Chains A and B, each alone.
Chain A
Amino acid sequence: MTAVSTPGVEAAPYTVEEVCEHFDPVMGLEVHVELNTATKMFCGCANAFGAEPNTNICPVCLGLPGSLPRVNGAAVESAIKIGLALNCRVRERSGFARKNYFYPDMPKNFQISQYEDPIVFDGYLDVPLDDGGTWRVEIERAHMEEDTGKSLHVGGATGRIHGADYSLLDYNRSGVPLIEIVTKPIVGARDRAPMVARAYVTALRDILRGLGVSDVRMDQGSMRCDANVSLTPKGSPVFGTRTETKNVNSLRSVERAVRYEMGRQAGVLLSGGTVRQETRHFDEQSGTTSPGRAKETLADYRYFPEPDLPPLEPGSAWVESLRAGLPERPWERRARIQTEWSLSDEELRDLVNANALDLVADTVEAGAPPEAARSWWVSYLLQQANKREVTLPELSITPAQVARVIALVAEGTLTNKLARQVVDGVLEGEGDPDEVVAGRGLAVVSDESALTAAVDEALAAQPAVAEKIRAGKTKAAGAIVGAVMKATRGQADAARVQELVLERCR
């Protein structure tokens, strides 16, 4: 009992398979998503990640006396789109509520949120699983709220507010629009529970990315997951006591956190203990969870309707127009693209893993043939991304620019080798492909008379080789072609040079 209840880095005592011999796991997943609207939820400040502390602030998001919130319509639109993509119902009349508690990173000491009447509710998501199946996750609700500021506790051992020498507060994030998406209890997944959790968060991330409503960067905190886990003894009609694990900052961590909690709780229960209802923190390093600060009198947030904001009444015409504009679901789009481009499963997986699918699709959209588009993104551009330690979408080249490079190759203006130099120029910020071609002087030498002259010059310089070619040893042409390419600084079409060499020796 002591051994298993001590927080630490030891592995959970039971595997999921062992857990499921005795218990059925029940999960609830709460995902917070920061919207990427231009401005904050209730004021006109920029919603931007990574600015100097306390630069994107105003009386409203600082909660100064006398200030009043005003709702960002773009955030409401994003919330409705998310709801529709999750097959939710949109409430005809919803409202904001105040959630009251004291914390220094929350400048009003209440958070404007939604309580009894979230804007969207009662939906589901059919989640594709790694094993080829699908799992329907039911959605309880998704609601809008404002993010808090960030505190940095300086000094002390824990990095938490207690024991710190002093704390710094950055309110740039204060008032950033958040959507909290809450599932209904996920039951019956048994030993697949950790995989289902990961697959759900993955699918949700893909959907949100497809909607373009959030950066969904778990590493930057624009998508955060809290995992509620409990174990029901087999045959029992009552759910067990749940824990809520926070700080789950990657897709892999979602799976690991659920797996660890299942094993840990089974250890507690099977040794005769009871699971405490508590908040736990996930540790990326060890893959374990540990209890949060114990103060657990149940918080009473004293929710009441936000008197500064009128009810939200999105008209059905607006909702229907948003529904009509929803993009394909990412996995449906993938299936379609796979068929249209005749990709193998492996090729498709490579594209998805490299974050390249949308980029390739957009490149094709911009006029490039699928094969060329795919090849550019997963080979040369992927190398460049790796070299620069960024992801493919972060490379400073657009699908339209890549499509233009491909077109320049197809029309013979560039060789593949020159095309790579053009791409380098674009990545270095030298402008569009045509500007780089002009700026670096990279176009293929296609002036036939100039090329012919160069060939003649090379043949004259190497009479012995010329003689061999004339005698039918066409392989010897390589030496002349090489000389011509060198003379034109690589800007000639080698195949055409080869043809010319043979022509001139006929």
Chain B
Amino acid sequence: MSDMISLDAAELARRIHAREVSSVEVTRAHLQRIEAVDGPSDGSAGPDGVHAFLHVDADGALAAAEAADRAIAEGGPVSPLAGVPVALKDNLTTTDMPTTCASRILDGWRPPYDATVVARLRAAGLVPLGKTNLDEFAMGSSTENSAFGPTRNPWDLTRVPGGSGGGSSASVAAGEAPLALGSDTGGSIRQPGAVTGTVGVKPTYGTVSRYGLVAFSSSLDQIGPCARSVLDAALLHEVVGGHDRCDQTSVNAPLPPVVEAALAGARGDLAGVRVGVVGELSGEGYQPGVLAAFTDAVRTLGELGAEVVEVSCPSFSYALPAYYLIAPSEASSNLARFDAMRYGLRVGDDGERSTDEVMSLTREAGFGAEVKRRIMIGTHALSAGSYDALYGKAQKARTLIVRDFTAAFETCDVLVSPTTPTTAFAIGERVDDPLAMYLADLCTIPANLAGNAALSVPCGTSPDDGLPVGLQVMAPALADDRAYRVAAAYETARSSTPDAAPRIPELRALETTR
């Protein structure tokens, strides 16, 4: 295994820019790693492959790497991450690769435009490797809802990598990519980050453009970075973030100084920082090993000089039900456009059937069970007889959650909790129990409903099963830098402890030849 695949993006960038190694070599090393451990993009390797990728564009990646090497050789100014490979969640539009959202319904669609974040990555000289697996339309917590087979957790291939962005987090965890972009609607970056032992950030809503992100729930969706270090996440965050006139929910304000905060935090001093432990996000229903790792992490924050206090956010108990009304409601409308008329799958068009019948047959065949479930929930929640009792009430709960955050941030600089109640569960374990599946997002959903910043940073492994655990750090809106500072300080302190997990799992190279 080439050491290049275990290096941080910041270190790779340093070596590439110093011309110690070329971007082409780095890119080739990652493509080889993908080839070795990922299995075919249709998931047919089963439990032998990570299956993080739905599409790998080796030629495109190598061409982009060559271009980056040329720019560096010419000696002009290049972006801090120029030449570094990156994986893209397959709900971001790309002109040179398909965008499937892991759904059959987008069969054959090639977007005519790049998402703003993709355009910014390209402009900054990063090297897109391919598109990563997800729960269909980002609806799920395990990546098992992909129409193209589940992604597997690199630390244990019988377990899920979380979701919906399991592909992005698993690709980073497995050393297939040093960086990835995900999207977080209810925890889809942070929860997979936690269970794969990687960093995942949901920036403040509106600080990273959603233009070109295939919408699941527009008022909750937010694109963010996946990485193996806090600094790497911050570097990617700065490349893709900032105002975009194509997204009117985009905040027209300077991006918080996240790289500076990550560097400052890494010096390990949290004196004067007040950290609130959210009482409602622990206790009954949480895996004891997760709570043990979390308690250790809080103790470490105290040792770094932070003042740790208990805070209560009583309305967080409404977060899960409110989320499962608001998100499906918006989704039912956002996904209405998939009707077989203009692009993607078309079923039953035999010249006899009506437009309505073709639409119905296509949606019946093209959407998976979870997507249909949410479209139906959302359609019901918005219907005339239910709107006030369901959608309207959920919006009221959302207001209460915002108030809880506001009150907590009056006394605390950041709030912390476990990122997930449990470590990675087994593939198949929760597929028939949607409610159990929904609980995986219990801790992450409040920040989506309120729109503030939150991230997950690895905090060791659970003593009961040895699997990764995540520490969630939440900060006020537009104060993402605070979360980065605390996470970086914690990361530095933890990396010097004896039980720090290995950075990259020793995955057996697949012997399949194709």
Given contacts A162-B354, A304-B329, contact A107 B93 (CB under 8 A): no
Please indicate the chain B residues that have their CB under 8 angstroms from the CB of A100 in the complex: 332-333, 336, 382
Q: Tell me, in angstroms, the Cα distance from A132 to B343 when the chains sit together.
A: 57
Q: How far is the CB of B20 from chain A (nearest CB, A)?
A: 38
Q: A62 near B: Cβ within 8 Å?
A: yes
Report the minimal beta-carbon distance from B399 to chain A, rounded to whole angstroms: 13
B514 at the interface (CB under 8 A from A): no
For residue A361, give the distance in angstroms from its CB to the closest CB of chain B.
40
Give the contacts of A51-78 with B (CB-CB under 8 A): 59, 62-71
Q: With contacts A69-B248, A107-B342, A302-B382 known, is A63 near B337, CB below 8 A? A: yes
B8 to chain A, nearest CB (A): 30
- Prevailing SS type, chain A contact patch: loop
Q: For A66, list chain B residues within 8 Å (CB).
A: 91-93, 99, 111, 113, 115, 211-215
CA distance A162 to B353 in the complex (A): 10
Q: Which chain B residues lie closer than 8 Å to A326 at the CB level? A: none
* CB proximity of B250 to chain A, nearest CB, Å: 9
Q: Which of B28-56 contact A (CB under 8 A)?
A: none
B115 contact set on A, CB distance < 8 A:
66
Judged by a CB distance under 8 angstroms, whether A108 is at the interface is yes
Whether B355 sits at the interface, judged by CB under 8 Å, is yes
Contacts of B245 in A (CB 8 A): 70
CA distance A225 to B6 in the complex (A): 67
- Whether A109 and B214, one on each chain, are in contact in the complex, defined by CB atoms closer than 8 angstroms, is no
Asked if B211 contacts A109 (CB within 8 A), the reply is no
Instruction: Write out the residue numbers on chain B whose beta carbons fall within 8 Å of the beta carbon of A98.
Output: 333
Would you call A376 an interface residue if the criterion is a C-beta within 8 Å of the partner chain's C-beta atoms? no
A104 touches B355 (CB 8 A): yes
Q: Is B261 an interface residue (CB 8 A)?
A: no
Can you name the residue of chain B whose Cβ is closest to the Cβ of A300? B384
Contact partner of A161 (CB less than 8 A), chosen from B211, B218, B355, B384, is: B355
Interface residues of B in 90-115 (CB under 8 A from A): 91-93, 99, 101, 106, 109, 111-113, 115
> CB-CB < 8 A to B355: which residues of A?
104, 161, 167
Indicate if the CB atoms of A307 and B248 lie closer than 8 Å: no
Q: Which residues of A contact B336 (CB under 8 A)?
A: 100, 102, 108-110
A309 is an interface residue with CB less than 8 A from chain B: yes
Q: With an 8 A cutoff between CB atoms, is B247 at the interface?
A: yes
Could you give, for residues 286-311 of chain A, a 1 whenever the CB lies within 8 Å of some chain B CB and a 0 otherwise? 00000000000000101110011110
Q: Per a CB cutoff under 8 Å, which of A65, A68, A162, A303 touches B111? A: A65
**A48 in contact (CB, < 8 A):** no
Q: How far is the CB of B413 from chain A (nearest CB, A)?
A: 28
**Chain A neighbourhood of B492, CB < 8 A:** none
Docked CA distance A202–B309 (Å): 70
Determine chain B's interface SS by DSSP, over half rule: loop
Asked if B391 and A68 make an inter-chain contact with CB atoms under 8 angstroms apart, the answer reads: no
- B333–A64 CB distance below 8 A: no
Is B133 close to A, CB under 8 A? no
Beta-carbon contacts under 8 Å, B238-258 to A: 245-249
Q: Which residues of A contact B249 (CB under 8 A)?
A: 68, 307-310
* Contact status A108-B213, CB under 8 Å: no
CA distance A100 to B381 in the complex (A): 13
Give the Cβ gap from B54 to chain A, nearest Cβ, in Å.
Answer: 15
In the assembled complex, the CB of B377 is this many whole angstroms from the nearest CB of chain A, namely: 13
What 0/1 readout, one digit per residue, does chain B (343-372) give for beta carbons within 8 Å of chain A? Answer: 100000000001110010000000000000
Residues of the B chain whose Cβ atoms lie less than 8 Å from the Cβ of A70: 245-248
When distances are taken between beta carbons in the complex, the residues of chain A under 8 Å from B93 are: 64-66
Q: Is A187 an interface residue (CB 8 A)?
A: no
- A302 in contact with B333 (CB, 8 Å): yes
For A322, what are the chain B residues with a Cβ–Cβ distance below 8 Å?
Answer: none
A280 to B90, CA, bound (A): 47
Complex contact A109–B391 (CB within 8 A) = no
The answer to whether A110 touches B333 (Cβ under 8 A) is: yes
B481 CB within 8 Å of chain A? no
Q: In the assembled complex, how far is the CB of residue B347 from the closest CB belonging to chain A, in whole angstroms?
A: 16
Does the CB pair B246–A68 fall under 8 Å?
yes
Q: Is B135 an interface residue (CB 8 A)?
A: no
B219 within 8 A of A: yes
The reply to whether B382 and A68 contact each other, CB–CB distance below 8 Å, is no
List 19 other contacts, CB 8 Å, given A66-B93, A304-B382, A307-B218.
A64-B93, A65-B99, A65-B106, A65-B337, A66-B214, A67-B212, A68-B210, A68-B248, A70-B245, A71-B248, A107-B337, A109-B337, A110-B336, A161-B354, A162-B354, A167-B355, A304-B330, A307-B330, A309-B248
Residues of B within 8 A of A (CB): 91-93, 99, 101, 106, 109, 111-113, 115, 210-215, 217-219, 245-249, 329-330, 332-333, 336-339, 341-343, 354-356, 359, 379, 382-384, 387, 391
A-B pairs, 10 with minimum CB distance = A109-B336, A307-B218, A302-B382, A307-B219, A65-B214, A66-B212, A66-B93, A66-B214, A108-B337, A104-B341
